[in-house]
Structure 1
Amino acid sequence: MLSRRHVAFIGSVAVAVVGAVLIWFGAAAIILAVFGHDMQAAAPWLAVAKFASLAWAAAVGWLVTWPRLDEMEKEARKLCWFIGSTAAILLTAPIMLLWLENGGAFLARYTGRRGTPGVYFALGWVGLVLAQLLASLVARAGWWVAKR
């Protein structure tokens, strides 16, 4: 059974994630409705929208949830994020270098006409973020097994 503290923590994380997603997709929908297919004009505003969504996640995720954690949980999160991020960077950097070696031909098959430098950057950024989250979860599972 989850304690009230855990339920409050899960609720604050949900507010951070849902808020960030709503800010990003809501702003992106409005920006794309205003600018249409003119990506040159929409790009700076999409960057501002992405920054706003990340600022929301950081503000709620860090300022609200972090003080609610006990010291052991804070240290576990810091350790798992450090190990997970480092492992993800060490694993994805060689993959990115291999893709650069062949000029992105591997990705060009999947992106087609949309294969612009911005698309490749976005794919690399999303891939690195997902790798960091996955590696952090693996590190957290390892930490949990070691402490039990």
Structure 2
Amino acid sequence: MIEIREASINDSESISNLLEQLDYSGTNRFINKRVKELIEHKDETLLVAKKDEKVVAVLSLHFIPQLALEGDFCRISYFCVDEDNRSDGVGALLESYAVKLAKEKKCDRIEVHCNQRRRKAHKFYYKQGYIESPKYLIKSLV
């Protein structure tokens, strides 16, 4: 059975391990601080999925109010399912939970930025009903 719940500071190490699978190495140095900040942020929801008492997925959602549009939107910031649990339905279950939360917060859409190299993730998102919006611009501030 899969349990979805809000993350706690005790999940930090597991979240760091999941982020490592997305090629974000070294998060263990600051993960406790980041998890704490996200848990306390009023426009953020940090979720984990547990299976057999082990955290097997993490999903970070940010809810963003809009000025010129009636509905707000939800952004998936980070989403990772453990390699050993992919294609088990964990991701789909967590994503549908995110949709439920977004609707409760009066969002009318969800967006996700997913790097071109993550082709399997793209297939997952298309299967969940996402469509491509091809322009995403980034300016580095460092």
TM-score normalized with structure 2 length: 0.24
| Larger gyration radius, structure 1 or structure 2 | 1
Bigger share in helix: 1
TM-score normalized with structure 1 length: 0.23
Larger RCO of the pair (alpha carbons < 8 Å, separation 6+): 1
